[in-house]
Chain A
Amino acid sequence: MLGMDIKRDANKIKRRIGVLPQDFNAFDLLTVKENIEFFGGMYDKSIDADELIDAVDLREKRDVYFKNLSGGLKQRVGVAISMVNDPEIVFLDEPTTGLDPKARRDVWGVIQSLRTKGKTVILTTHYMEEAEVLSDRVGIIDHGKFIAFGTPKEIIDKHGTGSRCIISNCDDKCLAAIQGQWPSAEKNDGEIIIRLESKNSLPEVIYTLDRSGGNYEQIQVTRPTLEDVFLSLTGKKLVGVETEPVKGKKKKKGRKGVD
Chain B
Amino acid sequence: MANRIIVALKGEAKGFYRNKSTMFWTIAFPLLLILLFGAIFSASGGKYDLYVQDLSDSQASHQFLEAVNLTGSVNLRYIDKQSDLDQYIKDNSLSAVLVVPANFQMAFVPGAGNNTTQLTMRMDPTQSSSNVVFSIVSAVANQANLALAQGSNVITMGRADITSSGFKYIDFFIPGVIALTTMTTTIFWMVSVMTRYRNNGIFKKLTTTPITRMEWLTSQILWQLFVVFLSLAVIMVVGVLAFDTHMNLTPVAIVTVVLSSALFSSMGMIIARFIKEEEAASAAANAITFPMMFLAGIFFPLSMFPSWLAAVANVLPLTYVGNALRDSMVYGNVASATNNMLVVAGFTVVLFIAGIMFSKWKTE
Contacts and interface: CB of A to CB of B under 8 A. Distances in A.
Interface of A: 11, 14-15, 17-19, 21-30, 34, 37-39, 41-44, 65, 81, 85
Nearest to A38: B11
A28 B11 CA distance: 11
B204 A21 contact: yes
Nearest to A65: B18
A43 B15 contact: no
A30 B259 CA distance: 30
Interface of B: 3-4, 6-8, 10-11, 14-15, 18-19, 200-202, 204-206, 208-211
A19 B208 contact: yes
* Interface SS, B side: helix
Nearest to B5: A41
B27 to A, nearest CB: 17
A42 B201 contact: no
B210 A42 contact: yes
A30 B11 contact: yes
Contacts of A44: 210
A42 B4 contact: yes
Given A34-B11, A42-B4, 7 more contacts: A21-B205, A24-B201, A25-B202, A27-B11, A30-B15, A42-B7, A42-B211
A249 B11 CA distance: 32
B15 A27 contact: yes
Contact of B210 (A15, A25, A38, A81): A15
Contacts of A34: 11, 14
A94 to B, nearest CB: 12
B324 to A, nearest CB: 35
A41 B202 CA distance: 15
Contacts of B209: 14, 39, 42-43, 85
A85 B211 CA distance: 13
A25 B201 contact: yes
Given A27-B11, A30-B11, A43 B210 contact: yes
Contact of B15 (A15, A21, A29): A29
A81 B7 CA distance: 15
Nearest to B209: A42
Nearest to A93: B204
Contacts of B10: 38
Nearest to B203: A21
Contact of A26 (B8, B18, B202): B202
Contacts of B210: 11, 14-15, 42-44
Contacts of B15: 27-30
Contacts of B14: 29-30, 34
A27 B202 contact: yes
